[in-house]
Amino acid sequence: MLHFNLARPVEMLWFGEFVAPEKGFKHLSRQLFEYELMAVTEGELYIADEHQEYHIRAGEYFVMSPTRFQHGTRVCRCRFYWLHFRAETRPPVNFSLPEQGRFTDGEALAALAARLFLAESGEHRGTLSHYLATELLLELARQQKAHPPSGDPKSRNQLLCERIRSYAAWHRFSQVRVSDMARELGYHEKYLSAVFHRTEGITLKRFLVEERLGEAKRLLLDSDYPIAEIAACLNFENAHNFSRFFKTETGMSPTAFRKLSHGEGDPPKE
C-alpha cells in the first residue's frame, strides 16, 4: 500500500501513452528516481524492480516506487498510460492506494488522460497538469473502493452517477451545464442525462438546479454575506438574477428565506 500526503497536488513530471510494437518489446532497464504509474489498457506488461517481477494485465494498474533497477523481464505486447510523478510522503498521510489493482471504468481514465494531454499541450508541467495527475490517482483509489475484493460491486451506471455527483460538488459555486459536464467526463450529453435519470430517479438538469439551490440556502443560513456577495459566489450575473432564481425555486426571496429561517416571523414582501 502506498501512502501520500495530498494536501498539495502531486508533481507531474511526464505523462504519455505507450503502444508496443507488434513484436519484440521489452521494457527498458534504468534507475527510477520518482514514482511511475502504468495503467494497461491492452495486452499485458512484465516489469520488475530489484526485488520482484510484476505482471500487469489489461484493466490493471501498477505504481512502481523509486528503484535502482527498473527493467522488463519478458517480451510482451501491450498498450498503457504512463505517469511519472513525485508526491509528498511525510505525515500527515491522507491518501492511500494499493500499489497494484484493477480499474473498472476505463472510460473515466481515458477522459482524464485526454484532459491531461490537453493541459500538457498548453503548458508542460503546469498547475493544471499537477492537479489532473492527482485526480488520476484519486480516480484509481475511488474505483478500488467501489469494487472491493469481496462483496457486490457497484454497477457501471452507479459509478457514473457517483462521478456526476462528485463533479457537481467540485463545481457547486458555478452554473454547471450538462453539456460541459458531459465533455469533461467523456460522454455524450444525452447518454449522461439518460443514465442519471434512470439510476437516480431525477433528471440531471433538476439535480444540478437543486445542488445549486442547496448551496445558496447554506450560504444564506451559515453566513452573514450580503445577497449580492452570495450571488457573486454562486456565479450569478447579479443579485437580481440570483433573487429571481431563488424565488422561482422556493416561492420566497433570499432575504425572506434568511429572516424566516432565523425565526424572525413571516417573510416580508420585497
Q: Which CATH superfamily is domain 154-270 in?
A: Homeodomain-like (1.10.10.60)
Position 73 scores a pLDDT of 92
Fold of 2-146: Jelly Rolls (2.60.120)
pTM: 0.59
The alpha carbon torsion through 80, 84, 87, 89 (nearest 10 deg) reads: 80
Grid cell listed for 86: 513525485
Position 266 scores a pLDDT of 54
Domain ranges of the chain: 2-146, 154-270
Position 167 scores a pLDDT of 84
Grid cell listed for 183: 465533455
* Tens-digit pLDDT string for the chain (270 aa): 899 999 899 999 999 999 987 677 889 999 999 999 999 999 999 999 988 999 999 999 999 999 999 999 999 889 999 999 999 988 788 898 999 999 988 888 999 999 999 999 999 999 999 999 999 999 999 888 766 554 455 577 888 888 888 888 878 777 888 998 888 888 889 999 999 999 888 899 999 998 889 889 988 988 889 999 999 989 899 999 999 999 999 999 999 998 887 776 554 444
Contact 164, 178 (CB under 8 A): no
Position 148 scores a pLDDT of 57
